[in-house]
Amino acid sequence: MKDCILLLGHGSPKKDANQLDQVAGILHRLIHPGCAETCVRVAYMEFAAPKIPDAIKQAVGDGAKKVILHPFFLTAGQHVTKDIPEMIDEARAAYPGVQFIYTEPLGIHEKLAHIALERISAADPLAPAAIEKRSFDILSAEADLGKIPADRLPIVQRVIHATADFDFKDTLTFHPDAVAAGLAAIKAGRDILTDVEMVRTGINKKWMHPWGGKVICAIQNTGAQGRESNEQVPEGKTRAELGIEKAFKENPNIGIVVIGNAPTALLKTIELLNSELRTRNSELLVVGVPVGFVKAVESKALLAEQQFPFITALGRKGGTPAAVAIVNALLKVAGGIG
């Protein structure tokens, strides 16, 4: 390991509040899809382990020649401007052969405002519709969506809303029958299969409940104990890939496959739908938007060439938020939810 990223948190006496490792896992998948090393780690000021000096020592001991320290703090208070820099100065003196880079805190950023908007919407049962409408009004004012077909517009809007990334208006690509196939699958009570638990969790079960289908993920039931969805297991396949394969073999009621993380799972889905499963699942919709630099671009380009219904986002961008947004948009349309 040449480089190591440390996410720095304050730490809390309440143990279940120290969950920065989940953020580290997401960041690791974004930066190094398929990587089995612990390139992104966490450290805390107090109350939780490892402490910042201990995490630095461990990273250097594991061979890191560059340590990037990111204070996962909203503002540049005393910890960010004084306490942590002092620890880094001590580390520079102790490890002269290692490069230490200290970043800005989270600070003020447009995407944080979108997160705040989501939290406000979730907290007030009377406000979400009005807040969301206002968000979509702002979105439409900033981007020309007039040329997007009416059936695809809710999906494009929700993906941009979820990601604060207007590039999706140009990169989202639809099979002509994609929206119709997705709505038909939902209304027929077909199940939705996801590549990873994070995607499964984000799909709105309340909106899906009236139709009777389930949202499933088989990654935990593959018998493979790899740490990451893209990590290879002894069979030479990733856990997400094995999960997709297992679900297809065992569940004849799959109507939508949603890939938001693992390109290998998307490639496996395409392979299966061009095999003996093609006839049985001819109207199945594949939502394939894995993010990253390794196989993500290629897998989505291959999906865009298929004859079965699909929705994808060409290029490197995508991920769980985009995948979840696409499915939730279809659920809203199916349920006539304004």
Task: Provide the edge-to-edge strand list for the sheet that holds 254-259.
Answer: 172-174, 310-313, 285-288, 254-259, 191-194, 215-216
Residue type, 266: L
| Both tokens assigned to 232 | 């290879």
Annotated catalytic, 109?
Answer: no
Q: How far apart are CA 55 and CA 45, in angstroms?
A: 11
Q: In the chain, which ranges are continuous DSSP H helix?
A: 20-31, 52-61, 78, 84-94, 110-123, 128-142, 153-163, 168-171, 178-187, 197-202, 205-208, 239-250, 263-273, 277-280, 296-303, 320-335
First and final C-alpha spacing in the chain: 50
Biggest alpha carbon–alpha carbon distance for the chain: 66
Helix axis angle for 320-335 and 178-187, nearest 10°, is: 70
Identify the burial level of 132 via C-beta atoms within 10 angstroms of its C-beta, where 0-12 means exposed, 13-18 middle and 19 or more buried: middle
Contact 264, 296 (CB under 8 A): no
DSSP codes joined into one string, 71-101: E--SS--HIIIIIHHHHHHHHHHH-TTSEEE
Phi, psi of 181, rounded to the nearest 5 degrees: -65, -40
Active-site entry in 32, 79, 161, 175: 161
How many residues are given for the chain?
A: 338
Catalytic residues: 161
